[in-house]
Every structure is written in structure tokens, then in C-alpha cells.
Amino acid sequence: MARATGDLKMLRRLEKKILWLACWMIDQANRREKVDGVKVGGHQASSASMVSLMTALYFDVLRPQDRVAVKPHASPVFHAIQYLMGNQTLEKLENFRGYHGAQSYPSRTKDVDDVDFSTGSVGLGVGITPFASLIQDYIAAKGWSVTGEKPGRMIALVGDAELDEGNVYEALQEGWKHDLRNCWWIIDYNRQSLDGVVREGLYDRIETVFKAFGWDVVTLKYGALQRAAFEELGGEALKEWIDACSNQLYSALLFQGGAAWRKRLHDDLGDQGKVSALIDRRSNDELSELMNNLGGHCLETLSETFNAIDHDRPIAFIAYTVKGHGTPLAGHKDNHSGLMTSAQVQAFQEQMKVRPGREWERFEGLDGSAVDIQAFLDSVPFFAKGRRRYRAERIEIPQTVAVSPGAVREETSTQAAFGRILDGIGKSDSELAARIVTTSPDVTVSTNLGPWVNRRQLFARRELADLFRDQRIPSAQKWDFSPKGQHIELGIAEMNLFLLLGAAGLSHSLFGERLLPIGTLYDPFVSRGLDALNYACYQDARFIVVGTPSGISLSSEGGAHQSIAQPLIGMSQDGLASFEPAFADELAIIIGWAFDYMQRDGDGDPDEHTWLRDETGGSVYLRLSTRQIEQPGRKPNPHFAQEVIDGATWLKEPGPNADLIIAYQGTVATEAIAAAGMLADRRRDIGVLSITSADRLNAGWQAAQREHARGNLHALSHAERLLGKLPRHCRIVTVIDGHPATLSWLGGVMGHKTVSLGVEHFGQTGTVKDLYRHYGIDAASIAETAASLTSGRSEYVTSLRAG
Ligand SMILES: Cc1ncc(C[n+]2csc(CCOP(=O)(O)OP(=O)(O)O)c2C)c(N)n1
Ligand SMILES: [Mg+2]
């Protein structure tokens, strides 16, 4: 129940104010001078649809530990609420959708008003809430909860068309497996999407689906006014009519208003005495108000229903609403991007009793005293603790991680080394080991997380022993589930992996407890979860994602399992530092660095050594391989370690007269080294550049160039330092088991002619040798390419082939 009847009155005032502010914000944004001919936009109708729901939630139902993903197009409503509470500035509202203004879609990173989850790509805000709840449970199970609160509810305010997104159902299924608690999805069931009105009968589908996954379904169909009318004589007939009415017709009548309702109801219900009298007792305005009084717009109903929930089972609330409710846009099927005209805004303003010039004033047009309203706002529980952004202590990284001698063998793959490094950490009782949480979409064993999981076990809210072990059936995997476990095993859906990494990677900020999440998946399937990866990065979640195996080096698996574009994804994804080391010693250094990088949150100036913004930190992507290759057997030193992190190091330093260098990234190191060997008798000074991160090498170069443009001519990036000492005539051949564009930019750094080898077309089945030859990344092809760049080509190529 709302706290008191007086509160309900107050909620109604706030509802009116929030609707006004949201509509005015969008209106003003669209009245700003268009400098570049691009419309500003905004969603008055989508916002209006959610005003009552959000008023009830934020001013009555929510508690500080609750976390909310707000439907993207209700961003103005959210900002209006925060503005009323003094958490959003007038300047930013006036500049909604403008440069440094309040964001079009709620953004954790770009908005100042305590956004819990960013939204924008429909379905993802919905999908992250079950995973946030799982992480909340995980933290509680470890006895860590810094807030000491009872668990928060992870709430998604869902546009009904968001339920078209497949990731929503993937999340439902995964939630069921993990015994999901404390998760509410409140569906703004306005039966409209962007292009129009949704299919009839959607309600039944939605209800059935949720129930199938073990959710409670609570329907908010009729408001208090409607329920009262149904109790009147003839009310039953009216209810039956409403229930039978199609979405299209209901919307159209809502748009047309009272007179249209009267005519239609009379036409359909005929002269049925009682119900006709029920209709005739009401004026057109009253009739319209009655038909608009759906559950999702009735503060009383909303408040009562939400506050009455006394359990932690997941709930889908289906709240019937009207898109554009309370505005002239209500119900029209084209209203998604529709904006009120000037005349409509003027009339709306008069109706809201907002005097010209006072449009932004917080209490303008509200009845009741400003002192009383302010006193009410000051007492709202949700805002009582101020901004709910936590910080967590930094977890120490033992030096041994970056050295990990156990990971290095004479011959090994980066994937095997990864497994050994994690296993080594798992053996220790360090704080680092305790804070790592791993996860994988059904590829735990095949991505080499197995040894770590055997040590650290699987997480579940309830204990579940490994039946095979109990039955003494030999198996390499010892999988006990318990609240102590540190691995969260997921089903195959990669979207869920990235949503979970997103939620776990925000744990320090959402729950005040640092987790160091590591997720593994097959590299090509990074694409399957790409939007959720982007979403996690956009929210500044912190995690390590390991794509393994990768490339055509996964030779016998064929084109469907061999990744090509992933190095470019790694380079272009903001918030993600990508590495593809060739050797185990490099990988150990990178992992040690990554644990630290994930925990950084400064915002100082770029590092003058690399010109990267390393103070801010971010997430890390490791592209690894199952291909076993001979290891160089080096002794790591600090200089080498720094270069590995900066993105490149000379495997073979070029001589003073080098006319060729071979630059490689990843497991084709062996081919690059062999090619250099084949060429060495003619080209003593040949260099081999080992690139551990095209991403960071490139980013440092870009940053230094920007610094040059600003007039700092001393800015020198790592790439410039490495390539700057090469003679001008020197050629570069680059090679990668991935798209060649990953490295082709190296030619632009100092203007050296460059040829880039790699994979551009879908892979094949075969041996590594077959495939490297087919795609021209074997040693002979590299050497041939090098030869073609210099004089005396034909004779030289002949000798190479003969050799
Ligand atoms: C992944 C994705 N695809 C497309 C869009 C474009 N889009 C924005 S809103 C919308 C329809 C939303 O309808 P609904 O969720 O019912 O919200 P309503 O506007 O009715 O409140 C679409 C298709 C988007 N934001 N994200
Ligand atoms: Mg809708």
C-alpha cells in the first residue's frame, strides 16, 4: 500500500510533474536550432507510457538496494525523477540529447544521475537483471555483502516489444537453472512497438512463457476506477467488452477520446439498459478517464500490488498501459517518434497549469505547498542514502602470476598455458584466488578451465554433489556445486556469458565487492554475444574474456569454428584491451597485468611512455590458440614485460641496414621465425617483431598522433619507437591467423611499404600445414611475399621454393 492516502495524492502530483518534465525536455531538445540538419528526436509517447509505473516505483516502492534497468525510451522520465530529487542538473535537462547533456538512453557512464544499468539496445537491460541477481547471491553466499542490506530486487522496466529479443528468453532459461531470486520484470504492456500495434493474443504467450520458467505472473490490467465501474450494475458487460476488444481498436479509441468511446460502446453493447446507464452516467471526459484507467496507469493499483509482494521469487508484472498516456499522442499507432506540435504543447502546458517561463520549476503547477512536497521528497526511501555507487578495495596481485614458470614448457599452446596459470592461482590461498569468478557457456573443459574448476568448484545456491564421483566412476572432472564454488557454469548462449560478465564486472560498483570475472568461449562465438559484449563494455564492467581456440589454426574444425574477424573486433571494441600472445611467458605477463588493469579507475593524463589512457583501466580480451608451439625459453625482465603490455617487442632485433622486417601476432610466430630463417642468408639485418597486442600498439600510436596535432611534438608512441629506427627503404611483411587488416596499419606509422598476410575467407578443414599454405601464411609464403617486395625477385623465389 502507498504509505498513506495523503501519499497517494502526493504521488499523483509527482506523476503529473514527471510527465510534464519528460515531455517538455523532449520538446525543448527538438526546438533547439538544428545546426546540421539532423533531427534530435526523443520519445514522448514511450515515456508517457511509463510515467505512472516509475512514479510508483521510485517514490514509493523501491529501496536503495534495489537496482533498475529502465526501458531505453523512458530515459526522460528517469532524468525528470532525478531532477526532482536534486540529482540531475537543469543545464543537462535543457541540453537533453545535446553535447554533454542528459543522455538519450540512460547511461551509467555518461549520465550523472545514478543510473543502475545502461540501456539502449532493447532486450539487454532486461537480460542483465537476472545475472545481477545471481551475482548478488554469489556475494552473499561468500559472506561478503558490504552493504549489509537484505537483498535488493533487480528490476527491469521492459517495453513489451523488448520481448521479441531472443536474449530475453535465453536469460529466462539460464535464470531458471540458477534458481533465480529477487528479479522483477515490469512489462510496459502498451501493445505498441516502433512501427505499430503488436499482435493480438501476445498476453497469453507472455504469461505462458513466464510460467513455464517458474516465474510468478502478476497482471495489472484494470485500474481502481475500472474495477469500481465493474462493480456497478452493467459493469460485468463493460468488462467483457474491454477483454474482447482488439489492441488496435482500443488504441484507436484512446486516441479519439470520450465521444468516440461513447459511440462505439453504444454501438457494440446496444441498448442493454444497465451498461448503457453506466456509460451515460459519465461525461465524455469521465468516460475517457475510465477507459484510460488501465492498471499500469493507476498509482493506487501499482503501489498496492508492488508493495504486497512478500517473497523473493522472480515475477513478471504485465502492466497494461497506453503509449502516450496523458498526452495528445495517446494510442496513435504512429506515435513512437511522434512529437507534440507547438499548439499541442501549448494546450498541454495550460492543462498542466505551468506558466510560461516557469516550465522547469520543480513544483510549478502542482497543488499543495512546496514545503509539503519537498518534505515528501525528503522522506522517499529509495533516495535516502544518496548516490548508490560503491567502491571496492584493490585486490593485490602476487608477483608470481606474471612469471608463472609452471606455465612454460618446451612446447605448449597459449590455451594450455592459460589453464596452468589459472590452476597455479587456484592452488594458492591468495585474496586474488578468492576473488576470481570464472564462467563459460558449456565450454569450460574445452577451453582449459577444467583444472581451476576442479580446485575451486562450481557455484550454486544449494549444495549438489558430483554423482559420478560419489558412484566412484572415474572422470577427470570433479564437479561439486555449492555456495562456496567459484565457477558459474552457463548454458551455451554466449549472450548470457557477456551479460553475466557485465553484471559480475560491475560488482564493485553495484554491490561494493570486487570480483575478478574470467569468461571463456570459442573465439568465433564472440560474435554471437557481441552486442552483450559491447553492452558490458559500455557500462564499464571489468572482466577478462578468453577467446579460444581461434583462427584457422583450429585446423580440422573447419570454417564454422575458425575465427577471422575477431582481432579487428578486439581492436575496435572500446573498453576492451585485446591481446594475442604467441608464447606462454607473454601470456603470464599479460594476465598479471590484466588483473591490475581491471581494477583501475583513475582518469589522469595519458601515460607519456605509451600515450594510452591506462589510468582508467578496462576489460581484457585474450585471443588464444590450442596449437602447440616451441617456446623461446627467455628470462622475462621488466623491460620485456613492459613491451609485451605496450603491444610489441623485437623477437629478433633488426640490424642497422635492415631492408625487411616480419611482424606477426599470435601463433604464426613459428612461421614468421622460420621465414626469417629462410631469408637470413641474404638479409642479415632482418628483424622479427612480435606483436602481442595490435590493439594497444595501435591505440598508443593514435593517441600520440592526437598529441602531435595538439602541438606536443615529443609525444612518441611505442610503435613509432620500434619502427622509427628502421631505414626508410625497409619493407614490412605482417602475418596473423586472422584478418590481415589487423596489422596492415603498421605501414602508416613511419611510411614503410607493407604487405599484410592473413585470412580473409572462410576456413577449410585440413592440417595446420595445409591451411597455412592455402591461405598463404606459412613460412614459404611469408618468405615469398618478402621476396616480391624487393629486387631480384624471380631468381630468389625460385631458390626459396627449391629450398
Ligand atoms: C536491438 C535494438 N533494435 C532496434 C532498436 C530500435 N527500437 C527502439 S524502440 C523500438 C520499439 C520499442 O517498443 P517497446 O519496447 O514496446 O517500447 P515502447 O516504445 O512501446 O514503449 C525499437 C525497434 C533498438 N533500440 N535496439
Ligand atoms: Mg510497447
pLDDT by residue (tens digit) across 581-637?
Answer: 999 999 999 999 999 999 999 777 788 888 888 999 999 999 999 999 999 988 878
Q: Model confidence over 153-179: pLDDT tens digits?
A: 999 999 999 999 999 999 999 999 999
C-alpha distances (whole Å) from 446 to each of 394, 451, 480, 528, 549 are: 31, 11, 19, 18, 9
Does 3 score more than 60 pLDDT? Answer: no
Q: How far apart are CA 610 and CA 606, in angstroms?
A: 8
CA-based R_g, the chain, Å: 31
CB 295 within 8 A of CB 302: yes
Q: What is the mean pLDDT of residues 390-417?
A: 89
Does 184 score more than 70 pLDDT? Answer: yes
- pLDDT at 792 (0 to 100): 52
- pLDDT at 38 (0 to 100): 85
Residue 199 pLDDT level (bands cut at 50, 70, 90): confident
Ligand 1 centroid, distance to 228 Cα (angstroms): 34
Q: What is the mean pLDDT of residues 219-232?
A: 97
> Over the chain, what is the mean pLDDT?
93
- pLDDT at 294 (0 to 100): 96
Task: Return the amino acid letter for 754.
Answer: T
Does the beta carbon of 323 sit less than 6 angstroms from any atom of ligand 1?
yes
Contacts of 611 (CB under 8 A, 6+ apart): 700, 701, 703, 704, 707, 715, 717
* Residues 687-702 as b or e (16 or more Cβ within 10 Å = b): bbbbbbbbbbbbbbbe
Backbone dihedral angles phi then psi of residue 419, each to the nearest 5 degrees: -60, -40
Residue 665 pLDDT level (bands cut at 50, 70, 90): very high
Q: What is the mean pLDDT of residues 24-47?
A: 90
Residue 427 pLDDT level (bands cut at 50, 70, 90): very high
Pocket probe for ligand 1: among 43, 52, 193, the residue whose CB has the most ligand atoms within 8 Å is 193
Q: What's the start-to-end Cα distance of the chain, in Å?
A: 86
Does the beta carbon of 486 sit less than 6 angstroms from any atom of ligand 1?
no
Residue nearest to atom 17 of ligand 1 (CA): 159
Does the beta carbon of 325 sit less than 6 angstroms from any atom of ligand 1?
no
Q: How far apart are CA 81 and CA 701, in angstroms?
A: 43
Whole-model pTM: value is 0.96
- pLDDT at 474 (0 to 100): 78
Sign of the torsion angle spanned by Cα atoms 457, 462, 467, 470: positive
Q: How far apart are CA 756 and CA 744, in angstroms?
A: 5
Q: Model confidence over 68-94: pLDDT tens digits?
A: 999 999 999 999 999 999 999 999 999
Residue nearest to atom 9 of ligand 1 (CA): 194
CB 326 within 8 A of CB 19: yes
Residue 1 pLDDT level (bands cut at 50, 70, 90): very low
Does the beta carbon of 46 sit less than 6 angstroms from any atom of ligand 1?
yes
- pLDDT at 334 (0 to 100): 85
Does the beta carbon of 540 sit less than 6 angstroms from any atom of ligand 1?
no
Ligand 2 centroid, distance to 50 Cα (angstroms): 10
- pLDDT at 796 (0 to 100): 56
Residue nearest to atom 21 of ligand 1 (CA): 46
Does the beta carbon of 534 sit less than 6 angstroms from any atom of ligand 1?
no
Does 794 score more than 60 pLDDT? Answer: no
Q: Model confidence over 200-209: pLDDT tens digits?
A: 788 899 999 9
Percent of the chain predicted with pLDDT > 70: 97
- pLDDT at 598 (0 to 100): 97
For the CA of 121, the closest atom of ligand 1 is 26
Does 360 score more than 80 pLDDT? Answer: yes
Does the beta carbon of 129 sit less than 6 angstroms from any atom of ligand 1?
no
Q: What is the mean pLDDT of residues 215-225?
A: 97
Contacts of 151 (CB under 8 A, 6+ apart): 65, 133, 136, 137, 140, 181, 182, 312
Least confidently predicted of 134-143, 322-331, 469-478? 469-478
Residue 134 pLDDT level (bands cut at 50, 70, 90): very high
Ligand number with the minimum distance to the CA of 168: 1
Q: What is the mean pLDDT of residues 53-63?
A: 98
Does the beta carbon of 73 sit less than 6 angstroms from any atom of ligand 1?
yes
Does the beta carbon of 334 sit less than 6 angstroms from any atom of ligand 1?
no
- pLDDT at 139 (0 to 100): 97
235-244 vs 224-231: helix axis angle to the nearest 10? Answer: 130
Does the beta carbon of 79 sit less than 6 angstroms from any atom of ligand 1?
no
C-alpha distances (whole Å) from 284 to each of 222, 230, 780 are: 19, 18, 85
Query: For 447-548, where are the E strands, in sequence order?
Result: 458-459, 481-482, 487-490, 516-521, 544-547
- pLDDT at 292 (0 to 100): 94
Q: What is the mean pLDDT of residues 521-536?
A: 98
Q: How is residue 666 written as a grid cell? A: 599470435
Query: For 725-789, where are the E strands, in sequence order?
Result: 731-736, 754-757
Least confidently predicted of 403-412, 521-530, 710-719? 403-412
Contacts of 137 (CB under 8 A, 6+ apart): 151, 181, 461
For residue 499, the surrounding DSSP H or E stretch is: helix 494-504
Residue nearest to atom 10 of ligand 1 (CA): 194
Pocket probe for ligand 1: among 122, 203, 321, the residue whose CB has the most ligand atoms within 8 Å is 122
Residue nearest to atom 7 of ligand 1 (CA): 194
Sign of the torsion angle spanned by Cα atoms 452, 454, 455, 459: positive
Task: Return the amino acid letter for 35.
Answer: V
